[in-house]
Amino acid sequence: PLVKCLIAPGGEVVGPLVIATSSFDPSLGYVVPPGTWLIDAVVQIEGRGRFTTPTLPITVDRSL
C-alpha cells in the first residue's frame, strides 16, 4: 500500500513497514515457511527518485 510521510528537508521520520507473508514463489505454497529471510524496502522521494534500504534479516517464527 502507498503510505505517504511528510519530511522536512534535512529531517527524518520513522515510517511504517508493512510486511505480508504471502509467497510469490509457487513452490513455497501460499505461506512463507518459518526461517530467516531477507527484507528491504523501496522509498520514493518526490522529486528525487526511488531508493532501496539496506537488506536486513527478519525471522518468521511460525506459519499461521
CA dist., res. 21 & res. 32, Å (int): 6
CA dist., res. 59 & res. 36, Å (int): 4
- Res 23: pLDDT: 67
- Res 55: pLDDT: 95
- Res 45: pLDDT: 83
Cell readout for 50 is: 526511488
CA dist., res. 35 & res. 56, Å (int): 14
Cell readout for 7 is: 519530511
Q: Find cell 522536512 and name the residue.
A: 8
Q: List the pLDDT tens digit at each of the 64 positions of the chain.
A: 677 888 888 888 887 777 666 667 777 677 777 889 898 888 888 888 999 989 999 888 875 5
- Res 21: pLDDT: 63
- Res 50: pLDDT: 93
